[in-house]
Structure formats: C-alpha cells, structure tokens
Amino acid sequence: MYDLIAEIKRDNIIQTLKAGKRVDNRGFDEYRPIAVEVGVGEKAEGSAIVQIGKTRVMAGVKLAIGEPFPDMPNSGVLTTNAELRPLASPTFEKGPPGEDTIELARVVDRGIRESECIDLEKLCRVEGEEVWIVFIDLHILDYDGNLFDACELGAISALVDTRLPKVEDGMIIYKEKTDERLPIKDLPVETTFAKIGDNIVVDPILDEEQVMDARLTVAYTKKGDICAMQKGGVGTFTEKEILEVIDRGLEKSKELRKHIPFKEV
Amino acid sequence: MSRKLVIPGELVAEGDFKLENGVYREDNKIYSSVMGLLDIRGRTIRIIPLTGKYVPKVGDFVIGIISDIEFSRWYVDINSAHSAVLNSSDYFRDIDPFQTDLSKILSLGDTIYAKVREITPRKKVYITMQEKGARIIKKGKVIEVTPTKVPRIIGRKGSMLSMIKKKTRINILVGQNGRIWLDGSPEQTDLVTKAIEMIEREAHTAGLTDRVKNMIISEREKK
C-alpha cells in the first residue's frame, strides 16, 4: 500500500513506544472503541458494519443455490471476497484485486472456514446436486489500520445476522426472508499485533502499520483454540514473541467476541 | 452571528447575488454545492465548508513531505490532490544539480515548511523555500486536521494561535494544508494536540478561544 511516511512521524511513533506509550494514548493491549451494527443492508441476507476507531468495514452475506464440489457432495460452499474501495483511502485504486485485497479475503476466509463456525453439511439440500452457497463480501469504507480484525468481526456478525430466503420449486425468492438462520457453531475472532522495534502492540492504526516491522494475526475459536494464523511484513518474530502474542491475543479475543450480536438458542 | 447549516443542493437564496465558494446558480436561484455554514454578507454569498481537501493557493505556507526526487527537483506531498514541485533553484540557496546529489540535501520522507510560489492553469503547484519562515523540520510531531478548520486554529489575526503559544510555550507551525507541527515537551505536545482536537470539533461554535484557554489552564492545574 502506501509506504511513504514522514521521517519525523516514524521517529515520533518509535520514541513514544519506547517511553511505554502509544501515539493515540492507548495501552499496548488496548483496542480502539469498537461498534458493531447488524442488519444494515436490506438486500443482503445478512449484513453488518464494524467500526474500530476510524476503520470502517461493511460485510454482507448473500446466499445462492448451486452445485457442490464433486469431492464434497454433501457440504455447502463458502466463498469470501474483499474489496478495498477507493473512497476508503487515497492509496486504494479500483481495478482487479491486488495482493493486499487477496490476503485480506483469504485470512478472513481461513478464520471462518477452519473454525468450522458454519456447519456446512447442514447447508446441503440434495446430496451431490443442490447446496447453499454462502458469499461473504467485505467492503472497506474507511481505512485506518487493522483491517483483519474489523473484517473478521464484520464477517461473523453478518453470518450471525443472516436469515435464509424463501425457496419455492428450487427458486429463491430473495424478497421474502424466512426465520431460519445459518447453522452457526462457533464464533471465531482474529486479533492482530504489530511489532514496532522491540514493542508489540495490538490493533495498530494506519501510522503504526506504516512503520511496523511485522504483524501477526491469530484467529481463535470460542474454546480458545487457534484456528488460523497469518504473519506479514518483512520483520521477524522470535519463538518467545509468538507465544506471547498468542497469549495476549487470547485475552483480547474474549473481549472482541462480546461485540458479536449472537444469541444462544 | 449565527450561521445556517446547509447541505448540497439546498436552495440558499434567490435573486442577484455575487457568488463565492460553495454555491452555484441555476436560473435565478442559488443552491449550495457543499455541506457547510451559509455566510451572506451584503450581496455576496459563500459557504464555509465543514470538511474538504486542501486546495492550494498562491502565498499559502504548507507542510510537505518529500515523496519523490528527480535530477533537479523534489516532488512534495502537500496533503492535496495536486502534488507540489520544489525545484532545486527554489531551495534556500541555488543548487547546481550537476554538482550535487539532491537526495543528500532532502531525502524521501523529510518534512519541510514552504510557501506556494505559483500554480499553473493546469494545477501544477510550485513551492519555494526562498522565503522568510521556510525551513526544514527535523524533530517534533506533525498532526493533521481538516484543512477547512485551519483558519479557526489560527484565529482572528492569529489570536487563537498566540494564546496557545503563550499558555504552553511550545513551537507551532501551521500549514494551510491542515498539517500542524508541534515541538515541545511530550506533556505540552499532548496538551496542544488536545486543544487542537477541541478546536476542530467545535470550530463552528462561538466563544471558542476562551473555552480553549480555560481547558488548557484547567488541564495544567490537574498536573
């Protein structure tokens, strides 16, 4: 993305961290204020807008009926797509998805898929012939760092919000929603830590992302198991640091999960 | 003096007026083209926008970041749609690019305080450092605000700025492009950042200078 950052800004961020503070006066383990709103898109089966500080992400879930993959005839299909809207940042351009877009979509997808939060087998309608296909679309509306956590939170909130449309004679009537919901088994969340110098901080803002050496995203299930990981940036983490990030992230994941509007049935 | 908040497309007046920023005429009716505060003075109408990007103006001092270097000029990011050019002949002293490597003087990511010298009809912006006050910024902190709020941060005849400077004893340079440079102790810098955030948030309200002053005094007493 955008790699030009004023030298004095870089110095300022590093010096502030050395003094044990962050540029926006947060703690090292503190998220920015988080807000989740569901049911924002009328035409989607499920939708959510997630705001973490100034980062804003909209997630939508669309459902379609289609054929399953031949090797998994009794399982529904899940696809995730992300789009970095040019209105979100001067550095986002329209056109075919770039490296960052694809990474974002895949990391969110991995968190959802590997936690098995959707019971895909229950999305099978006729084995080998007809299954539900779940499309998760992520739109970045405002970019101020930490898209991974915001997108994962948005995706899972939209999935929780999803209501299946009515089906008549194999045709979907999108205008009529039933009260049936997706079979949600788990609520995965992702936490992202950035390594800047010798300090590791959670939920980096854009300025911090521009000066960070490396970042590590870890996805957790409700039980606290790790279901996905992604490391980015040119820097490195030591083994000790990775274990530390995992422990700190686990605590944060419990906090994030409270924002998902999920009611136990 | 209370000003009305208008939204784009709103009918603001009818009749013979002189139009300035943010309004357009259709037949005899005058509409707003931006969201902002309506300001009618005599027969002139303008709208003070609430938000917006910086549009360069000749004579403005701006804080820019070197974003590209060519043989005889630097490209400078000035937080605007138009990136600015600093020719080697516009540096403090005249540099001969055949003799000197420009990146040794100003390298990528360096911050400068310079003046807009010329804007061509095709919106190419030239800035210059051969001006009193122009300088290279080596330390401190740069914060960004909405450029439309900059006049409020300076205040009428610089009243707000001189008040903040007097109360906190900190170096401040305000770029018209919405970048503000602060240099002082970390505590004072935080305090001024807070004051500027307050001005940005409450820019459209009256009696702001006094409230900012009270805020700074009460914050200092807390410590």
Q: Is the pLDDT of residue B223 over 80?
A: no
State whether residue A265 sits within 8 Å of chain B by CB. Answer: no
User: For residue A3, what pLDDT is reported?
Assistant: 62
- Lowest-confidence segment of A103-117, A240-254, B133-147, B201-215 by average pLDDT: B201-215
B192: distance to nearest CA of chain A, Å?
A: 14
Percentage with pLDDT > 90 across chain B: 44
Reported as a single tens digit per residue, the pLDDT across A139-189 is 999 999 999 999 999 999 999 999 999 998 878 888 888 888 899 989 999
Run of H or E including A116: none
User: For the ranges A50-64, A149-163, B53-67, B207-221, which has the lowest average pLDDT?
Assistant: B207-221
Q: Do A7 and B110 touch (CB under 8 A)?
A: yes
Task: With beta carbons under 8 A apart, name residues in chain A contacting B103.
Answer: none
The average pLDDT across B125-130 equals 95
Nearest-CA distance A22 → chain B (Å): 12
In contact, A142 and A199? CB cutoff 8 Å: no
- Specify the amino acid at residue B115: K
Asked if A236 and A225 count as a contact pair (C-beta separation under 8 A), the reply is: no
Instruction: Give the CATH fold of the B5-49 domain.
Output: OB fold (Dihydrolipoamide Acetyltransferase, E2P) (2.40.50)
Using DSSP, state whether A10 is helix, strand or coil: helix
pLDDT of the residue at B168: 87
pLDDT at B70: 92
Share the mean pLDDT of chain B.
89
Secondary-structure class of domain A7-257 per CATH: alpha beta
Cα distance from B16 to chain A (closest Cα, Å)?
37
- Does A9 reach chain B within 8 Å, measured CB to CB? yes
pLDDT score of B88: 92
**Residue A24 gets which letter from DSSP?**
T
Residue closest to B6 by CA, chosen among B46, B53, B52, B55: B46
Residues of A in contact with B190 (CB under 8 A): 25
pLDDT score of A34 more than 90: yes
**Going along A33-123, which residue ranges are E strands?**
34-38, 46-52, 55-66, 77-84
Q: Lowest-confidence range among B74-88, B110-124, B200-214?
A: B200-214
pLDDT band at A249 (very low <50, low <70, confident <90, very high): very high
CB-CB: which of B67, B138, B141 is closest to A4?
A: B67
Q: Given this model, what pLDDT does residue B205 score?
A: 79
Q: What is the pLDDT of residues A199-214, one digit of tens each?
A: 999 999 999 999 999 9
Which residue of chain B has the CA closest to A24? B190
Helices (H), A135-199: 147-161
> Are B5-49 and B61-137 in the same CATH fold?
yes
Task: Give the per-residue pLDDT at B187.
Answer: 85
**Chain B neighbors of A7, CB-CB under 8 A:** 109-111
Interface test with B, best of A7, A18, A26, A142 (most B CBs within 10 A): A7
Give A263 or B9, the one with higher predicted confidence: B9
**Count of other CB atoms within 10 angstroms of residue B160:** 22
Helix axes B159-168, B186-201, angle to 10 degrees: 150
pLDDT band at B129 (very low <50, low <70, confident <90, very high): very high
Cα atoms in the 13 Å half-sphere on the side-chain side of A77: 21
| Chain A residues near residue B146 by CB distance under 8 angstroms | none
Please give the DSSP secondary-structure letter assigned to residue A239.
H
Q: Which residues 19-38 of A are in CB contact (within 8 Å) with B?
A: 19, 25
Q: Which residues of A touch B186 (CB under 8 A)?
A: 16, 19
Query: Do you know the residue count of chain B?
Result: 223
A8: nearest CB among B67, B108, B137: B137
Contacts of B84 (CB under 8 A, 6+ apart): B56, B62, B64, B75, B76, B77, B78, B116, B125, B126, B127
A12 touches chain B (CB under 8 A): yes
Q: Is B199:B152 a contact under the CB 8 Å cutoff?
A: yes
Query: Mean of the per-residue pLDDT values for chain A?
Result: 91
pLDDT the model gives residue A1: 43
Select B141-222's CATH number: 3.30.1370.10, 1.20.1250.20, 3.40.50.880, 3.90.76.10. 3.30.1370.10
Q: Does B79 touch chain A (CB under 8 A)?
A: no
**Shortest Cα–Cα distance, B140 to chain A (Å):** 7
Task: Provide the pLDDT for residue A146.
Answer: 94
pLDDT of amino acid A46:
94
- pLDDT exceeds 70 at position B1: no
Q: Give the separation between CA B158 and CA B165, rounded to whole angstroms.
A: 11
Which tokens sit at B47?
């709208």
Q: What are A5-17's pLDDT values in tens digits?
A: 888 888 889 988 9
Give the mean model confidence (pLDDT) for residues B183-187: 87
What percentage of chain A carries pLDDT values higher than 70? 98
Average pLDDT estimate for B106-134 = 93
If phi > 0 it is left, if psi is from -120 to 50 it is alpha, else beta; for residue B59 that is: left
CB spacing of A4 vs B138 below 8 angstroms? no
Among A24-28, A127-131, B113-117, the range with the most confident prediction by mean pLDDT is B113-117
Over residues A66-84, the pLDDT tens digits come to 999 999 899 999 999 999 9
Whether residue B142 lies within 8 A of chain A, CB to CB, comes out as yes
* The pLDDT value given to residue A2: 52
Please indicate whether, in this complex, the C-beta atoms of B186 and A19 are within 8 angstroms of each other.
yes
- Return the domain boundaries, chain A: 7-257
Domain boundaries of chain B, sorted by first residue: 5-49, 61-137, 141-222
Confidence class of residue B97 from pLDDT cuts 50, 70 and 90? confident
CB pairs under 8 A between A and B: 30
Is domain B61-137 given the CATH code 2.40.50.140 in the classification? yes
Interface check for A5 against chain B (CB to CB < 8 A): the answer is yes
Question: Nearest C-alpha of chain A: how many angstroms from B176?
Answer: 18
